[in-house]
Amino acid sequence: MVSVRGMVSLERLALSDREVEDINRAVERYRDTFTGVILTVDTVGRVDEITPSTVLVFAVELQTGGDLVVKSWSRKVPREKMVSQLVGYMGKAAGEYKDFKRFPDVKQNFKTLYI
């Protein structure tokens, strides 16, 4: 359900077991809201090795069961904080999406909800 795109591969991110568990818990928690998670991860400049302090640029796209997607703006974050930012964003996005769905006449005009 989670895919990674961009210049940084999943292997280069070297997620710890705990980070994988955190992502899996978030995906499970919001599985009724989001059907897919696309993480786009790039580096700032050329980076040979990714360390916890390496600054990454990442954006999240959360797919819903309908025509609407929920996206984040790109943000710079140290590698060590990326997973916590992702998990926090998913919670915020789920709340915003549920609020948005309360107005069925509005969602017909939007294909992407940025938060």
**Are 51 and 78 a contacting pair, CB within 8 Å?**
no
**Are 56 and 82 a contacting pair, CB within 8 Å?**
yes
Q: Could you report the per-residue pLDDT of 71-93, keeping only the tens digit for each?
A: 999 999 999 999 999 999 999 99
Please tell me the pTM assigned to this model.
0.87
Q: What percent of the chain has pLDDT over 70?
A: 97
> Which residues are registered as beta bridge partners of 114?
71
What confidence score (pLDDT) does residue 108 get? Answer: 65
Residue 10 has pLDDT above 70, yes or no: yes
Q: What is the helix (H) or strand (E) element at residue 8, kind and residue range?
A: none
Position 45 confidence tier, pLDDT thresholds 50, 70, 90: confident
What confidence score (pLDDT) does residue 46 get? Answer: 87
Residue 107 has pLDDT above 90, yes or no: no
Phi and psi, residue 34, nearest 5°: -120, 135
**Are 92 and 115 a contacting pair, CB within 8 Å?**
yes
